[in-house]
Amino acid sequence: MKANEGPGNGAEWLRGTGGEADIVLSSRIRLARNVADFPFVVRMKAEQQAELARFLEQGIMGADLAPNMRYVDIDEADELEKLYLQERQLISRELADAKGKRGVSVGDMERISVMVNEEDHIRLQVIHSGFELDECWAAADRCDSLLGERVRYAFSPRLGYLTACPTNVGTGLRASVMLHLPGLVMTKQMKKVFAAMAKLNLAVRGMYGEGTEASSDLYQLSNQVSLGKSEEEIVHSLKSVIPQLIKFERNARKYLLEHGRVAVEDRVWRAYGMLRSARTISSQEAMIYLSQLRLGVNLGMVKDVHIDSLNELFILTQPAHLQKLEGKKLEEDKRDLARATLIRNRLGEV
Amino acid sequence: MKANEGPGNGAEWLRGTGGEADIVLSSRIRLARNVADFPFVVRMKAEQQAELARFLEQGIMGADLAPNMRYVDIDEADELEKLYLQERQLISRELADAKGKRGVSVGDMERISVMVNEEDHIRLQVIHSGFELDECWAAADRCDSLLGERVRYAFSPRLGYLTACPTNVGTGLRASVMLHLPGLVMTKQMKKVFAAMAKLNLAVRGMYGEGTEASSDLYQLSNQVSLGKSEEEIVHSLKSVIPQLIKFERNARKYLLEHGRVAVEDRVWRAYGMLRSARTISSQEAMIYLSQLRLGVNLGMVKDVHIDSLNELFILTQPAHLQKLEGKKLEEDKRDLARATLIRNRLGEV
């Protein structure tokens, strides 16, 4: 199977394009909105929630936010489909696990998506490959206006957009970037980064939540506050810190190459060797090696692997994607076999 | 560099030929002899020892034990040369570390060698690839007779050949085989083997002494007693137990393939991947992967690697061999680099 075939196909944010894409995998803007005259999701009765879901599905599909929008009824989706959408970052675990009528609308390339009846009535997401926060914000703002023509948002002149959780009140905006920071991890500087980001009211999380930080070296950095600042200010406050982080990461890589080039090369090539030879591999182990190989590709050590293939493998080797690819439900040991086979096929067997 | 080039070239016992060569790497017979009218080595004065060394060098070289015999003055050899000869199993650590005039005479293919002034005046060794104890004994017996025409051995009609250590008195014979037992190691049956062998008065040791057992899965099995039995009886008692051990090992491999084929394949291929991609590797780690790969080759999983190349790599990756290959003294970290490079060159880079 070639890169860009199968269910990994289509997500623009995996392409490895955009600014500083060796370190910034993707940029993302999320807007929380609620519809006036409807209670928040937690307070709605089932019938009301169903009515709102129908209304929003029509509104979103009619607003023409992106080409080829499709709507997925999450309350009718099976567990595999829900996990699959989570792995693609199109729905949250909260939406997957919730009850009642709810869904997600997804456009071409998966750049634009809208969750319906998650914590808020509307969660609009724009995600781009690379360091492209301005572009994401411009697209999100445009979608927000288009949707606003069809839906009357719950809005307070004093507070701004009203949301179910007070942390989202105001702009309802969360801006985030996904960063690959193997240099800072290897030089044991992530604690410093966490502390510095906390002071700036920025949150740092592992790619797939707790426990994955140390393995994939992928971190999501996002704003914590959405009230009391304009959207542009929030985007800018995140945006302005990224070049510094990129510089720290580049310095860490430079340090590693100057003080332990052999060790870095050894780690990179062993990871590549493992990925191309293992017959069974866990998701965790695959993430570790993929991350190490990604560093090697970005350092120019490994020349015959493309970043988009690697970005895709981070997603394709997740449990639901593997099962989609195989076309059937698989127990863990069979997934480990399928994962190893997929990786060998993609990277070329030893 | 191709197999059979460089300093690994020439040792017949690495060829992977002979009976049951997938499990029995080599067979070896050693005879301890002393010269009548000379004290044992520990009791000799330096002048006497030098006189005996000259006498024995002439005697051995004149006896025409093997084609192209050469004599190495160990007392004039540098540390690297001594370590190199130890790694090739041509001299003992005792001979390397001893004082005074001493040496080793080595014939073509390194099948026949004679240490001079080790613990005994004469230590004759015959080593063959595969399970070939009878052939080794026949060659050793022939050499013993040829040498006996030129040297009057210290012999007692009641005790047999007299030796410096009482454990060698009688026949002065030690018979041993080098076995590759990864199946028994993986199925955790080596303790049972140790106990069974002890009951038969057979000793089991790791290839390079203590501490290497667990890593290379290579074990040396030898007789403990040389008194009270004829040479043929001693050889036979070792020889008769080997087919059973081979059967145990084959059963263990069969069991592993039936109950955990994926795990074995995974281990084999990862070892192969590591060996072909590592940029720096310790001797210990190399031994582990070479052993796992050797199993994979013998199980028919890996088809493009030859057993003689692997047998050679066990030797060539040892410290002195690496330094000989590089033509200079190397510190440990440089050896680890050279070792990884050598292995990649031999097995083909990923």
Convert the pLDDT of each residue in A138-175 to its tens digit: 999 999 999 999 999 999 999 999 999 998 999 999 99
The pLDDT of residue A214 is 53
Average pLDDT over residues A306-331: 92
Q: Is A340 close to B276, i.e. CB distance below 8 A?
A: no
| Global pTM value | 0.85
CB B28: neighbour CB atoms within 10 A?
Answer: 21
What percentage of chain A reaches a pLDDT higher than 70? 95
State the Cα–Cα distance between residues A42 and A39, nearest whole angstrom: 8
* Facing residue for B269 by CB, picked from A270, A337, A350: A350
Residue A274 Cα, gap to closest chain B Cα (Å): 6
Q: Is A266 close to B272, i.e. CB distance below 8 A?
A: no
Mean pLDDT of chain A: 91
The pLDDT of residue A206 is 79
| Chain B residues whose beta carbon lies within 8 Å of the beta carbon of residue A263 | 280
Mean pLDDT of chain B: 91
Q: Right CATH number for B7-230 from 3.40.50.740, 3.20.20.110, 3.30.590.10, 2.40.280.10?
A: 3.30.590.10
Which residues in A have their CB inside 8 Å of a CB on B? 262-263, 265-266, 269-270, 272-274, 276-280, 337, 340, 350
Q: What is the pLDDT of residues B135-177, one digit of tens each?
A: 999 999 999 999 999 999 999 999 999 999 998 999 999 999 9
Q: Is B262 close to A279, i.e. CB distance below 8 A?
A: yes
Residue B9: which pLDDT band, with cuts at 50, 70 and 90?
A: low
Single-letter amino acid code for the residue at A216: S
Q: Give me the sign of the Cα torsion angle B59, B233, B127, B12.
A: positive
CB A145: neighbour CB atoms within 10 A?
Answer: 10
The pLDDT of residue A208 is 60
Nearest to A123 by CA among A143, A109, A142, A108: A143
The pLDDT of residue B220 is 92
* C-alpha triplet B254, B255, B256: angle, nearest 5°: 90
State the Cα–Cα distance between residues A102 and A117, nearest whole angstrom: 5
| Chain A residues whose beta carbon lies within 8 Å of the beta carbon of residue B337 | 262
Q: What is the pLDDT of residues A322-340, one digit of tens each?
A: 999 999 999 999 999 999 9
The pLDDT of residue A12 is 84
Q: What is the pLDDT of residues A82-101, one digit of tens each?
A: 999 999 999 999 999 999 99
Q: Is the pLDDT of residue A212 over 50?
A: no
DSSP state letters, B244-290: HHHHHHHHHHHHHHHHHHHHHHHHHHHHHHHHHH-SS--HHHHHHHH
Q: Around B263, how many Cα atoms within 13 Å sit in the side-chain half-sphere?
A: 11
The pLDDT of residue B252 is 96
Q: Is A280 close to B273, i.e. CB distance below 8 A?
A: no
| Chain A residues whose beta carbon lies within 8 Å of the beta carbon of residue B262 | 279-280, 337
State the Cα–Cα distance between residues A73 and B305, nearest whole angstrom: 54
Residue B266 Cα, gap to closest chain A Cα (Å): 5
Q: Decide the pairing of beta strands B202-206 and B218-223.
A: antiparallel
The pLDDT of residue A39 is 96
Q: Is A274 close to B273, i.e. CB distance below 8 A?
A: yes
Q: Is the pLDDT of residue A8 over 50?
A: no
The pLDDT of residue A205 is 85
> Which residue is listed with tokens 């067979």?
B27
State the Cα–Cα distance between residues B320 and B296, nearest whole angstrom: 27
| Chain B residues whose beta carbon lies within 8 Å of the beta carbon of residue A273 | 273-274, 276-278, 350
> Which residue is listed with tokens 């060794």?
B125
State the Cα–Cα distance between residues B39 and B54, nearest whole angstrom: 16
Largest separation between any pair of C-alpha atoms in chain B? 64
Residue A228: which pLDDT band, with cuts at 50, 70 and 90?
A: confident
State the Cα–Cα distance between residues B259 and B245, nearest whole angstrom: 21
State the Cα–Cα distance between residues A37 and B210, nearest whole angstrom: 80
Long-range Cβ contact pairs of B329-334 (< 8 A, separation 24 or more) = B329/B80, B333/B280
> Chain B residue with minimal CA distance to A337?
B262
Q: What is the pLDDT of residues A40-59, one digit of tens each?
A: 999 999 999 999 999 999 99
Torsion of CA A182, A183, A186, A189, to 10 degrees: -110
CB B301: neighbour CB atoms within 10 A?
Answer: 17
ipTM of the complex: 0.81
Q: What is the pLDDT of residues A114-143, one digit of tens each?
A: 999 999 999 999 999 999 999 999 999 999
Residue B252 Cα, gap to closest chain A Cα (Å): 21
How far from A144 is each of A112, A169, B163, CA to CA, in Å? 11, 16, 97
The pLDDT of residue B213 is 47
Torsion of CA B268, B272, B273, B275, to 10 degrees: 140
> Which residue is listed with tokens 């510095």?
A196
For the CA atoms of chain A, what is the radius of gyration?
21
Q: What is the pLDDT of residues B223-282, one digit of tens each?
A: 987 788 899 999 999 999 999 999 999 999 999 999 999 999 999 999 999 999 999 999
The pLDDT of residue A336 is 97
The ranges assigned to domains in chain A are: 7-230, 249-347
SS3 label, residue B170: strand
State the Cα–Cα distance between residues B195 and B198, nearest whole angstrom: 5
Residue A317 Cα, gap to closest chain B Cα (Å): 18
CB neighbours of B51 closer than 8 A, spacing ≥ 6? none
Phi, psi of A207 (to 5 degrees): -55, -50
CB neighbours of A209 closer than 8 A, spacing ≥ 6? none
Q: B79-87 vs B319-326: helix axis angle to the nearest 10?
A: 120
Residue A17: which pLDDT band, with cuts at 50, 70 and 90?
A: confident
Q: Is the pLDDT of residue B210 over 50?
A: no
CB neighbours of A23 closer than 8 A, spacing ≥ 6? A179, A180, A181, A245, A246, A249, A250, A298
The pLDDT of residue A9 is 52
Q: Is the pLDDT of residue A180 over 60?
A: yes
Residue B323 Cα, gap to closest chain A Cα (Å): 19
